[in-house]
Structure formats: C-alpha cells, structure tokens
Amino acid sequence: MGNKKVRHVLGISGGKDSAALAIYMKDNYPHLDIEYYTSDTGKELDETYRLIDNLEIYLGKKIHRLTAAESSHQDPFDHFYEVFGRLLPSSQVRWCTKKLKLEPFEEYVGDDLVISYVGIRGDEDREGYISPKSNIQSVFPFRQNIWSIDVLEDVLANKNIPVIEQYYSSFTGDYDTPRILEILDRKTGDSFSVKDKAKLLLDIDTVLFNTVVHMFLQYDQEKRPLAYELDFPLINNADVLVKDDIFRILRESGVGVPAYYEDIDFEVDGIKATYSRSRSGCFFCFFQQKIEWVWLLEQHPDRFAKAIAYEKEGYTWMDEPLEELAKPERVIEIKRDYLKRMERAKKAKSENSPYLMDSLIKESDGCIACFV
C-alpha cells in the first residue's frame, strides 16, 4: 500500500503546546510536508495573532486561516451568536466549537486522507479530539504513546492477540520476548485496559511497539490514513515532552511565549502570588476558571467589558454574572479561594498525587476540540 496521497496537517490554536509542536516538527521532521492552519473566531487576544505571525516567520510557511461564515459581515462568533438567537455557548451547548472549529476544519480537509498532529504533552493525562471521520487520523508526537485511543483499541483488541504476537515474533533483537508475549497474552478488560497494556509494551521498547502498530494499520481492513504511509518517521520517536520543554522550545526558537502565559504578581491579605491565563482561544471562553476572569478584568478591562456586553441578553458565561464577579469584594474572595487551591495543589504534589499541579490550578480540561 502507499499509492494514495496523504495530507499532514497541524492546527495552531494560539496556545503554547500547538505552537511548540509546529516548531518541533519543523526542527525534527523537516522533510514532512506539513500544512499549518488556525481557526479564527474573531475573538482572540492580540497576543494570539502575534504568536501566529511569529510562527509563520519561523516556519517559513503560510498558516492557513480557517474562518467560518466567510461571507458574513460579522466576526465568525458574532455571526453564529445571532444565528443561535443570542444564546451564549456553554458546556451543554457548544455551538462555538462545532461552528467555529470543527466544521471549518472538516471542510478544509474534505475527504482527503489526513494525519493530524496534536500537541498534547507527555505530562497530560487526557485524550485529544478524535474525528468521527475515518479519513482523519490523530497522532500525538509529544507523548510516549503517539497513538489515539481508537487505534489502541483496534490493535490491542483481544481478538487480535495472535496477529500482534506474530508481528512481534517477526523481529529479532535484544528484546524481552518472553515478557512481551506474557503481556500480549493477557486479555484486556475492566481491570486491565488497552492503555494499561500499551503502556507496558511501550516501556519495554517504544520504537518496537510503534513499528508493530504501523504494521497492523497497513494490513487492517479499516485502512486508516497511516496505512498508506509506508515510511512514517514518527515510529522511531521516543521523545516525551512536558510543560517545561514547551516553554523552552518557544523561547529558544525566538517565537516566544504568548504574554498571557506569563505570571503576573498580585497580593491579597498580605500574601503574594501570581496568576496568568491558562488557555488560548476566545477571551471570554466559558471554560475559564474564575481567577482567569479576574485576570481578564485586571489585565484586559476592555475585553472584560465586551464579555459583559454579551450577558445583557439574559444569558451568562457561567453560574455568576460578570458584573457580580467584578465587584471588588468578590475579586478579593476569588483570589483568596485561588490561594487556598494553590496550597492544596502543592500539598497534593508533595504527596505524590497522580494529578499535576498545573492541572489542578491552571489547565482544567476545557473543550479539547478547540485545539484540533
């Protein structure tokens, strides 16, 4: 196989991880013809657009701007805000994700075979967006496990144990073959997931596991995009990049870290601390934590005022109207609560909690589809 054209695409959300991934791919896999794109909602912070401009210079390539409702005289968000009867998006009604991100992306790739590179880090315990379209396959270069969960579920399905054992047995080398076969023979179920099984195999030999997965994809009847890529260099990738690596890549490349990620000092009750924005995307994203709304109020009061204006129709971005959140006594209360959560997070980290401090404080799950 390998006679079909496969497109390689990488979405730039305006955040640190996707920007660092673009730099990483250019530096480490310059021969891959990667298309870069970004979905412009019309409601990004200025720092996001500066990051995209800086990236274009570094990459030496145009980053395609995907814009929903291109024929409208309004920004994409405002256009669909009117279409949906001025209903604000929420975790229950994510029309912003569907209309401003997913639909423009799927129109951009069409029915072409596509490998989509996603910047989920090695220190994040979450899965990325998996397209329901069979022509789009996600790959995660920053993780030890570069494969999406749907691929793992196929490769490590109990019915495929004999096939995978055969693939492993076709390799000779300094491998712990008895241990590998022992792991493969163990069936997955409630107490032993495919992710557990994959982790054990990856820890023995990452490159070997990747090679076996690639072999499976080439002969699998489902024929995902990677079935048509006979030579896929990321099979040999054993890198695991974490948050510190992301900031290092951005700084060393000269692209720089978006200003909204930089810590800003504040003080409450005589206690000094810092806050910042944890995400890219719309400045009024409803997935923001309340401390981030305070950050917006204090650092970008004009944008905060615009966010308030959307609440005049009777809907609110969260469980608390922004006019209430902006009251001085409420701001102090939110900062106090933030300090308490920071202390709890530090304690949890010191006790070897499985949860990262930044996942407790700064990077709540949000909507992963905003970062395709």
DSSP one-letter string for 148-202:
-HHHHHHHT-GGGHHHHHHHHHT--SS--HHHHHHHHHSPPBTTB-HHHHHHHHH
Q: What pLDDT, on the 0 to 100 scale, is given for residue 244?
A: 94
| Contact status, residue 143 vs residue 36, Cβ threshold 8 Å | no
Q: What pLDDT, on the 0 to 100 scale, is given for residue 2?
A: 53
3-state secondary structure at position 345:
helix
User: What are the pLDDT digits (tens) for 232-251?
Assistant: 999 999 999 999 999 999 99
Q: What pLDDT, on the 0 to 100 scale, is given for residue 249?
A: 98
- The verdict on pTM exceeding 0.85 is yes
The length of the chain, given as a count of residues: 372
Q: What pLDDT, on the 0 to 100 scale, is given for residue 364?
A: 45
Q: What pLDDT, on the 0 to 100 scale, is given for residue 359?
A: 42
Successive 10-residue mean pLDDT values, the chain, 372 residues? 84 93 98 96 92 96 94 95 94 92 94 96 85 92 96 97 96 90 96 97 97 94 90 96 96 94 94 90 92 97 96 88 98 96 80 43 51 53
Closest by CA position to 293, among listed 269, 267, 317: 317
Q: What pLDDT, on the 0 to 100 scale, is given for residue 3?
A: 65
Q: What pLDDT, on the 0 to 100 scale, is given for residue 89?
A: 94
| Domain residue extents for the chain | 146-228, 259-360
Beta strand extents in the chain (DSSP E only): 6-11, 34-39, 63-66, 113-117, 136-139, 264-268, 271-275
What does residue 203 show for φ and ψ, rounded to 5 degrees? -65, -30
Q: What pLDDT, on the 0 to 100 scale, is given for residue 242?
A: 96
